[in-house]
Chain A
């Protein structure tokens, strides 16, 4: 029992909001908060953030800050749409990857070979990407029906999807199987239905693209932590001159890291297109490249952490799309969570912080009681606000690569 209490004390920042949300979701009005539909779209919206975050991981582990992720993702959306239009959905996946990779190469040339400031180069790449995508779109789809300067024509077909057999009613050898989790979700049992909702959302109607993206998490762990080249890449981010003295090709490692980063961001863009509206739209990425970067910080530069961060931001993104009522329910969730923080800070005799959280909590409570919905314009920035709030609450014990963002010139001691 003591272990349980200790565990709760340590992890209450994660557990308390989960419990609060499950509790609130028991109310019919807010059931959307834990429905399989919400979790399904949370998964779909997490994947681009996850891919961008993993992209950031590869780049930053080799010591190159990649603010250009957003731009590489934009390239992924356009090339993904173009490849999809020309060669079908899988062509879209491939070309999205190539498009992002190309911009990764540009970033690598600027930052590694020419030692341009990483953020300056990233900002320039983001500006270039917006212009390039628009230019390519006009050039490539000139005169094709339904294409405009800001949108590509529709891609026919989609990447295959499947349900898990037995659990969520998938087919096995052509036979329909039972849908155990779906039945549990509809049974409306406290906690069990909510968890089933989560599992149904994560396991039904899953596309192969999603599976590939999720597999990239263990693959990243394996490559970066279990292979010689991964060790070399990470060493370059920590101590480049030391690595070079041991015969590591520092520039090559950085190039590989940044190009992989671009490829993954490109995949993220392609995913947005192929699992979304099936067209390229200007401004489609909506800052998700930056949110991916935030999930990298949140995840403390580790693939599993990135996955968690992406899941969280994807969930916020999904609520935005699904239901205004559910967002209204979140107001009371935020209020309750702030009161939990207040109590915790009171017990630590941290009166200044507890007053702050209490007043903010009261504000959310009053807002909740005096409204029936959250203005649509606020819902639009839920994921961005969540990003800021989560980053400011997560403890700043980030362990970033030592030499991240520092220019390295061959033969220099640093």
Chain B
């Protein structure tokens, strides 16, 4: 693609951001708050050292969740079930991970493996139902989310409940020291700030793996071709049924790692307070970042930043839910603009091509 068109395609998220800010400002004006002052407060609070660490900690699970969704999106498969998949994976990993203690790297590897296997199996159900029963994955993954939530509640309060202590709320046994990821503060010389959780390097590695998988392997090529043109893919020898199930399993595998940052980094056990909603938030990040490893990273940071910086608003008399509205506006506007710009680029390319043909 030409540089000019590349720049045009990058403008979509910026336009969306600006429009979302204007819309949010209008709402703020409507409820009698000063928008400029509000955004200034958010930015000021969001850019303190404490907040930056917090934003990074929020970004890591959000990014992995987006990657999980993006694997499906690449072939036109909508895995809305990342939510249930990562929670189930995290519970099983937390519960089984306490039952043994070995040296730290191996222990952590096994805990992650349990989560990946559990989540990808749960996701595979949706793949199976789509391929062999013709149930659209959006419906099946949503239903599996509810079933998963019930299953988690049952397992947590009946099977994995740590009853030794007088625990008021259902929770698993805490992971032994060897199953915990240390914080990274020493590495960056920021001992005075809150803990920067240790999953950050793994997250970056996962982004790299995602990139290599989608753009540098045959499987990734098949996924992309199927997403772009299913009929062409079938003629090139892709088995759509097999690919659907594989994509669902890989997507679920990434989903399994979503909960690992919180689990290994600071929760060290699964409780009913284990952070929910990351799966749904990841869908938004994947849409915003257009399934691109760098785009999604920026998207995750943006949403992480908005969420963190909005924490100050309630204290200053502005409802902090304005941030959820703003995120949703960004999302809705950005999908519209991506489509407009996609069509614009398409016509430009056709024009360029016909011009070239004319020159020859």
Which residues in A have some Cβ–Cβ distance to B below 8 Å? 67, 106, 110, 114-117, 119-121, 123-125, 127-128, 130-132, 134-135, 138-139, 149, 286-287, 290-291, 293-294, 297, 375, 377-378, 380-381, 384-385, 387-388, 391-392, 396, 398
Contact = CB atoms under 8 A, between A and B. Distances in A.
6 contacts: A131-B324, A149-B321, A377-B151, A381-B146, A384-B147, A388-B135
B139 A396 contact: no
Given A287-B146, A392-B129, A377 B332 contact: no
Contacts, number: 123
Interface in B219-250: none
B261 to A, nearest CB: 22
B332 A131 contact: no
Interface stretch (B43-51, B112-120, B335-343): B335-343
Nearest to B141: A290
B319 A121 contact: no
B139 A293 contact: yes
- Give the dominant DSSP class at B's interface: helix
A123 B78 contact: yes
Contacts of A123: 78, 80, 283, 287
B331 interface: yes
A120 B335 CA distance: 8
B319 A138 contact: yes
Contacts of B287: 120, 123-124
A110 B328 contact: no
B140 interface: yes
B139 A128 contact: no
A396 B58 CA distance: 42
B189 interface: no
B265 interface: no
Nearest to A386: B143
Contact of B147 (A130, A381, A392): A381
A396 B331 contact: no
A375 B154 contact: yes
Contact of B154 (A121, A131, A377): A377
B331 A124 contact: yes
B304 interface: no
Given A67-B138, A131-B321, A124 B335 contact: yes
A384 B146 contact: yes
B337 to A, nearest CB: 9
B134 interface: yes
B328 A131 contact: yes
A131 B150 CA distance: 24
A258 B139 CA distance: 19
Contacts of A138: 319, 321
Nearest to B148: A381
B110 to A, nearest CB: 28
Given A128-B325, A388-B135, 17 more contacts: A115-B343, A119-B138, A127-B283, A127-B328, A135-B319, A135-B321, A138-B321, A139-B31, A290-B139, A290-B143, A294-B139, A297-B135, A378-B151, A380-B146, A381-B151, A391-B129, A391-B135
Contact of A287 (B142, B324, B327): B142
A151 to B, nearest CB: 14
A397 to B, nearest CB: 10
B158 A131 contact: no
Contacts of A110: 332, 335-336
Given A125-B332, A384-B143, A131 B153 contact: no
A67 B140 CA distance: 13
A291 B139 CA distance: 8
A123 B136 CA distance: 14
Interface in B142-185: 142-147, 149-151, 153-154, 157-158
A130 B145 CA distance: 17
A134 B134 contact: no
B280 interface: yes
A391 B328 contact: no
Nearest to A130: B324
A398 B151 CA distance: 31
Contact of A388 (B140, B280, B319, B343): B140
